[in-house]
Amino acid sequence: MNKQLSLRDFSLFIAIVAIWAFFAIISPSYLGARNLSMLSIEMSTTAVAALGVLLIIVCGHIDLAIGSGIGLFGGMAAVLTTLYGWPAPAAMLVSLIAGIVVWTCMGAVIVSQRIPAFIITLGGLLVFKGVFWKVINTSTVPVNLGGESNLYSVLTTYYLPSTYGYLLAVGVTMAIGWATLKGRASRKRHHFEVEEPETAFYKFMMKTIGLFIAVTVLNMYRGVPLSGVILGATAVGIYVLTQHMAFGRYLYAIGGNEDAAMVSGVPVHRTTIMAFSIAGGLVALTGFLQTSYAGSSTTSVGDLMELDAIAACVIGGVSLKGGRGTVMGVMAGALIMASLLNGLTLISAPPEIKFITRGIVLALAVWMDVRLNRK
């Protein structure tokens, strides 16, 4: 059975075009190479966090501690690097392990004690924020000392040479084509609904053309930022994990119906804890990117990023009830959130307008999720 093309398939693309057109009219520099390069970095930080949230929401849980964790683990690495003289890779590795361990413990408490994730992660939000402020002593800690570059500081300041950017685009295009063909073959083999060949081809071409246009525009400034490469690698890893491994099938089964999944032999507790563990690693990685982009760790790093990540997921089609969501949808949702915040910053919108916009977008995203679940 072939799936028919509908307007919903292009709704996110239409939303992105509308947002870009709106801000371009108000501020023509919005679509300039420099601002789009900054936008790609901002989108990378939001998207990496959202990919971690994807794993947790798909299995029917929620995570409100992400923003505080981003600040905490980014701050830990900054303190170890700048104040204690650790090599940046070692400091980041320790913080990464800490993120994985802390989120694993939260997941274990949630599944073993059967406490709602909302409560545990809300408590984590408060605890991690306090620990974060203690770690940096409520001061500003730079990611490098004396202006010297290190691995931490170049995460959002290094750009690929133009040739490597195009080679990367070719590789990503080949990966998208392979994933599309393999996915269609798998769905046909299991007698699931698939898209019309023409529809699949048009979507592939749109992604390919968009990718090469993006690389061309970024090369007009400095090139593809390293943070974009990190996001691409993360997205591919999460895609393979959720779509081509048993772990992914277990996640969707748990989110669809946890009791049925348990009866079917799905290791519910182990899978859920593993989802939190991976999310913890991505929280730490986002912390590195966000802190590097800011140039220092301050008490405001990570503020409200849990809402941006959740909104990106819901906008991208992830169901808050679990059992539904895709990597590409989350990426599109993250681009929408980053585009909005970047545009508001560019036109010098006051902080209260940013808060209002975030709240409206989050409310609309949840409303869309409820409407879709009724159909």
Please state, rounded to an integer, the average pLDDT across all residues of the chain. Answer: 89
Q: What is the pLDDT of residue 103?
A: 97
Amino acid 147: pLDDT: 63
Q: Tell me the pLDDT band of 9, cut-offs 50, 70 and 90.
A: low
Over range 73-84, report the average pLDDT: 94
What confidence tier does 255 reach under pLDDT thresholds 50, 70, 90? very high
Q: Indicate whether 244 pLDDT > 90.
A: no
The answer, yes or no, to whether residue 8 has pLDDT greater than 60, is: no
Per-residue pLDDT for 1 more than 70?
no
CB-CB neighbours of 251 under 10 Å: 29
Query: Whole-angstrom Cα distance, residue 256 to residue 324?
Result: 8
Domain ranges of the chain: 36-158+226-374
Diameter of the chain by CA atoms?
Answer: 63
Task: Please give the pLDDT value at position 270.
Answer: 95
| Averaged pLDDT, 197-210 | 82
- State pLDDT tens for residues 32-72: 999 999 999 999 999 999 999 999 999 999 999 999 999 99
Calculate mean pLDDT across residues 355-363: 84
SS3 of the chain: CEECCCHHHHHHHHHHHHHHHHHHHHCHHHHCHHHHHHHHHHHHHHHHHHHHHHHHHHCCCCCCCHHHHHHHHHHHHHHHHHCCCCCHHHHHHHHHHHHHHHHHHHHHHHHHHCCCHHHHHHHHHHHHHHHHHHHCCCCCEECCCCCCCCCCHHHCCCECCHHHHHHHHHHHHHHHHHHHHHHHHHHHHCCCCEECHHHHHHHHHHHHHHHHHHHHHHHCCCCCEHHHHHHHHHHHHHHHHHHCCHHHHHHHHHHHCHHHHHHCCCCHHHHHHHHHHHHHHHHHHHHHHHHHHHCEECCCCCCCHHHHHHHHHHHCCCCCCCCCCCHHHHHHHHHHHHHHHHHHHHCCCCHHHHHHHHHHHHHHHHHHHHHHHHC
Grade residue 372 by pLDDT with cuts at 50, 70 and 90.
Answer: low
d(CA 152, CA 115): 36
CA 274 vs CA 107, 199, 309: distances in Å: 8, 35, 19
Give 30's pLDDT tier (boundaries 50, 70, 90).
very high
Predicted confidence (pLDDT) per residue in 282-334, tens digit: 999 999 999 999 999 999 999 989 999 999 998 888 988 888 889 989 999 99
Residue 251 scores a pLDDT above 90: yes
pLDDT for 296 equals 92
pLDDT of 123 above 90:
yes
End-to-end CA separation in angstroms for the chain: 20
pLDDT at residue number 10: 67
Task: Give the residue-averaged pLDDT of 62-88.
Answer: 94
Confidence of residue 235 (pLDDT cuts 50, 70, 90): very high
Looking at residue 277, its pLDDT comes to 97
% of the chain residues with pLDDT over 70: 94
Instruction: Give, in words, the CATH class of 36-158+226-374.
Output: mainly alpha
pTM of the model: 0.91
